[in-house]
Amino acid sequence: MQQLHDLARLDDIDTDVREERFVVHTLQLAAQAALDVASHIVSDHKLGEPATNRELFDLLHAAGWITPDCAQVMGRLAGFRNLVVHGYERVNLGIVKDVVRHRLTDLLAYCAAIRTTSGRTQSL
């Protein structure tokens, strides 16, 4: 996330396809990593059978791994990832800019919550 924060030229993503792809796909990779971690935790701890990627985060919340707000934010990020990967529609670059400018801390909060809860579960 630090590279995205430091290297993204958000004022250029509307006119520079390389910049757009760097930012969009870096966010997509971060979302995929968050989903992968969630999937492993849900599976390893037998937290349930999610029907969708978004439900992974609901299961993490229900088991006390993340807050309800974090589950909601991460669920939206899963939706963004699906949009990018499956190409359902054109990505709204205004939303992308807002995420990079104001929401990267949400990803960091998710990582911190997972680390904290993981440490507690390993010591049990």
Percent of the chain with pLDDT over 90: 75
57/96 Cα distance (integer angstroms)? 21
Phi, psi of 106 (to 5 degrees): -65, -40
89 SS3 class: coil
106/38 Cα distance (integer angstroms)? 15
When pLDDT is cut at 50, 70 and 90, the band that residue 122 belongs to is low
Each residue's pLDDT tens digit, 32-67:
999 999 999 999 999 999 999 999 999 999 999 999
Each residue's pLDDT tens digit, 11-20:
999 999 999 9
CA 17 to each of CA 6, 13, 94, 107: distance values in angstroms, whole numbers, following the listed order: 18, 7, 15, 25
28/69 Cα distance (integer angstroms)? 20
Q: What is the pTM assigned to this prediction?
A: 0.89
